[in-house]
Structure 1
């Protein structure tokens, strides 16, 4: 039995104290949930443990022995491994699965100018994959894998390095139900091997399914640690937010107007087939379906990132052609993509830059000079309106929590006079408090007469937010329903091909 203790951990960044005397304790053969609202400090705490942040104060103990962690290698030597939410950034796509799993070892071999025994490398990596009962060939290139398989490769890499403490940061966010079940099987397998798993997630129901313990954080501070079987979702939410949650979905007085946006027999070159639907003014329509149904492909085709092979789009009765995202913006469409860090924000830029980038002409004088004062006022207005937690509007977006990054990704479109807003999984990796803020913004946009397309595999969000829902399966719309006439079971039935 191995025990990890983090005591009085504090860390500061310019303008903000991210952690304030935080306590965290876990043991081997336990799955320990770490939860808190976006900006609570949970990811920061785990980055301290993983050696990514070294300017912290406080102490870390393993089995009662003080263990300073000054870099990621120190953490790895102590058996601490982390699998981040953005799996693509942690893997080398043009290398094989085996090379990615044993990457650290290959680097050491190269540093010592030794000859690599490729047969041995592939064999050893395959043993690790087989031990986890993963049907992945170690010789396949990572670029050929699905997102779920890439995540499994990262877990395989972690346990190849004598992992004692495995940190999983939002591991189920991009996964389908079946892929989540496979991940849970792996977690339970590691638990039986005496590995301690630290599980960061905003999906409360799955925490009660897989976790033994839970630690709740709020505003950079430790709030409580409990046995999962001795608490409830309602209590956890209250501890996270410091108040009772109330209704998550805003009340609406639905005033539906005339047809605003029409999609007529849209097909692309690869997957989408004869898709037709309409959005009326003030209406929130859901695009529902499981992972892989074609929701993201549809959203990107509507926005001009993917090209239509056939079909027609109409806005207010007039045909439009979205041959590129630039043309789509000019045609008054806005798009909040699923992969915010890759496609929705400029991570190295400030909040100010991100909130003006889609409409720079609004802040240009004489079409040449940027009005910095106007740009800053706009950024501050969006930060205030969406309750973005940041030290200032000059903060780099990469340093914000996931939920606050998503608010910036959405907020930038408030500077543009759009008629149609497309949201693709907008609450992915977002806590319950930030979700409510996002829902309220969407309802406000609909109340202003905008048309909303809300694509998600989260059935409760479809049921709580939308007026009508189009269910997708295998690249097609298989069912249209008035949302308040169906339940989750029926949506799942249609999403799996039932009719």
Structure 2
């Protein structure tokens, strides 16, 4: 296969149970380019890429490289044509107890080609050479379970070079990465481009899409609604194409009366990660804590929720002192947390939507004798699903099979019927598409309108500017600046978040 030939998907259609998921989609990928594929949840982009990578079979249409039509019936067929995919969940793609070199050469070792599987020094040398091609010096003798998420992604990309990939699908590759790690990934993508590899880039972060992409295609309702060179479209054009309306129309900030103080935090600290933080949240108020990765936002949320012990400090909820030594104490005090790592800490991926939503309120759903009412449990789940717009086949659907946005809605929904007065959200839109973000922002607005207090911890400064009544800037474990709504720009937030000083502003 010549690397100079274009990959083209023409008139691709796909239906599930009679419902159209793709309706005559055209998509092309040229060698040596980054083509961003965007769309809200349910737009069809994942289905299109699963057809390209062999996970799904198309109902109609063709896939060609140059003039040659491909027959892709499985992932193995796609790989044989040089089409590979790197998924967001990198941990599931590596064997943890094997070394970097062994993971990179896994397919070759498993196939037992020649004597390569026995020649470990040759494996190591080739692995080092491949990593060098993308500017990485990860020790090839390190075990995969000793790597950071960013390093694991690099190993997966290096494995694609071993397999002589010509076209690569990167599905949300920056979602788990810090800004610095994402920049390193973009450098590797540039190296792949120089080597003639075409990249499909799926991301929900519009600034990075504009930064790295050569072309941008947007899908909505199973069709392509925009496909242009990246330099010809603005972020507002992309949002309108995704949603069918503008960002301002989709996320209006409702005026909510702000009442008495619900949460008071005084001088809470833990080691060097949280250094004497004091803040308050009032009834009906959304307070954003913004900061770069590593600022201490997650550590602060864990202290307030009792997941980690504090060295010092006091917490009051509703005017009364809260002795929070565990998450159970936090819940009894009226504090709920939607954590950043939702799959590890926010939901039970192997349990149903029904059971996840009912878990915190089993006593409420049980009768006088302590037996759980299945009817009450089902009605509660159905009501929460409808209220939050959770897209699921049924209440019995396993949460692990939902999209990231719908998993996040379940993580939020399980607290909605509790007695919580203060809701903390730690990076709630991480890895979530723009349509699901709309729903999450709406839910947060409804909580504020219901008189709850909201503490919104995020590194997405634009979200804080759009949502918050007050913004606190966190840097190196401390709150360094506070702004009222409308009193700060994106540039000022970034300045203080990156250790800018007052006298230099």
TM-score under structure 2 normalisation?
Answer: 0.90
State the alpha-carbon separation in 1 of the partners of residues 363 and 60 from structure 2.
46
Q: Is the 8 A contact 2:273 2:295 kept in 1?
A: no
User: Which residue number corresponds to residue 229 of structure 1?
Assistant: 231
Q: CA deviation at 1:419?
A: 0.9
Q: Is the 8 A contact 2:82 2:164 kept in 1?
A: yes
SS in 2 for 1:307: coil
Q: Is the 8 A contact 2:87 2:172 kept in 1?
A: yes
State the alpha-carbon separation in 1 of the partners of residues 325 and 53 from structure 2.
44
Q: Residue by residue, what CA displacement relative to the aligned partner does 1:139-160 show, whole Å, maximum 9, x if unpaired? A: 2333343332322222222222
User: Which residue number corresponds to residue 365 of structure 2?
Assistant: 363
Q: CA deviation at 1:113?
A: 9.7
1:60-79 equivalences under 5 Å are 60-79=63-82
Q: Residue by residue, what CA displacement relative to the aligned partner does 1:240-295 show, whole Å, maximum 9, x if unpaired? A: 22344434542232433222112232233563232222222222111111112121
User: Which residue number corresponds to residue 168 of structure 1?
Assistant: 170
Q: CA deviation at 1:61?
A: 2.3
Indicate how the Cα distance of structure 1 residues 352 and 220 shifts in structure 2: closer, same or farther if over 3 A, else same. farther
User: Which residue number corresponds to residue 448 of structure 1?
Assistant: 450
State the alpha-carbon separation in 2 of the partners of residues 99 and 56 from structure 1.
38
Indicate how the Cα distance of structure 1 residues 392 and 19 shifts in structure 2: closer, same or farther if over 3 A, else same. farther
Greater shift in the superposed pair: 63-72 or 159-168 = 63-72
Q: Residue by residue, what CA displacement relative to the aligned partner does 1:24-77 show, whole Å, maximum 9, x if unpaired? A: 221211211111111212122212222333576543322332322233222222
State the alpha-carbon separation in 1 of the partners of residues 417 and 18 from structure 2.
27
User: Which residue number corresponds to residue 246 of structure 1?
Assistant: 248
**280, 286, 291: which one pairs with 1:284?**
286
State the alpha-carbon separation in 2 of the partners of residues 375 and 16 from structure 1.
30
1:24-173 equivalences under 5 Å are 24-54=27-57, 58-109=61-112, 116-173=118-175
SS in 2 for 1:174: coil
State the alpha-carbon separation in 1 of the partners of residues 18 and 396 from structure 2.
11
Q: CA deviation at 1:473?
A: 2.0
Q: Is the 8 A contact 1:361 1:367 kept in 2?
A: no
Indicate how the Cα distance of structure 1 residues 322 and 197 shifts in structure 2: closer, same or farther if over 3 A, else same. same
User: Which residue number corresponds to residue 488 of structure 2?
Assistant: 486
Q: CA deviation at 1:195?
A: 0.5
Indicate how the Cα distance of structure 1 residues 416 and 467 shifts in structure 2: closer, same or farther if over 3 A, else same. same
Greater shift in the superposed pair: 364-373 or 32-41 = 364-373
**400, 414, 417: which one pairs with 2:416?**
414
SS in 2 for 1:273: strand
Q: Is the 8 A contact 2:128 2:137 kept in 1?
A: no
State the alpha-carbon separation in 2 of the partners of residues 49 and 460 from structure 1.
34
Q: CA deviation at 1:454?
A: 0.6
State the alpha-carbon separation in 2 of the partners of residues 273 and 401 from structure 1.
36
Q: How many residues align?
A: 498
Q: Is the 8 A contact 1:259 1:279 kept in 2?
A: yes
Matched, 1:386 2:395: no
**167, 178, 184: which one pairs with 2:180?**
178
Matched, 1:341 2:343: yes
Q: Is the 8 A contact 1:39 1:400 kept in 2?
A: no
SS in 2 for 1:308: coil
State the alpha-carbon separation in 1 of the partners of residues 274 and 101 from structure 2.
34
SS in 1 for 2:363: helix
Q: Is the 8 A contact 1:250 1:439 kept in 2?
A: no
State the alpha-carbon separation in 2 of the partners of residues 51 and 218 from structure 1.
22
Q: Give unmatched runs, 5+ long, in structure 2.
A: none
User: Which residue number corresponds to residue 318 of structure 2?
Assistant: 316
Q: Is the 8 A contact 2:12 2:58 kept in 1?
A: no
Q: Is the 8 A contact 1:363 1:375 kept in 2?
A: yes
State the alpha-carbon separation in 2 of the partners of residues 450 and 472 from structure 1.
23
1:458-473 equivalences under 5 Å are 458-473=460-475
Q: Is the 8 A contact 2:100 2:141 kept in 1?
A: yes
Q: Over aligned residues, Cα RMSD in angstroms?
A: 2.6
Q: Give unmatched runs, 5+ long, in structure 1.
A: none
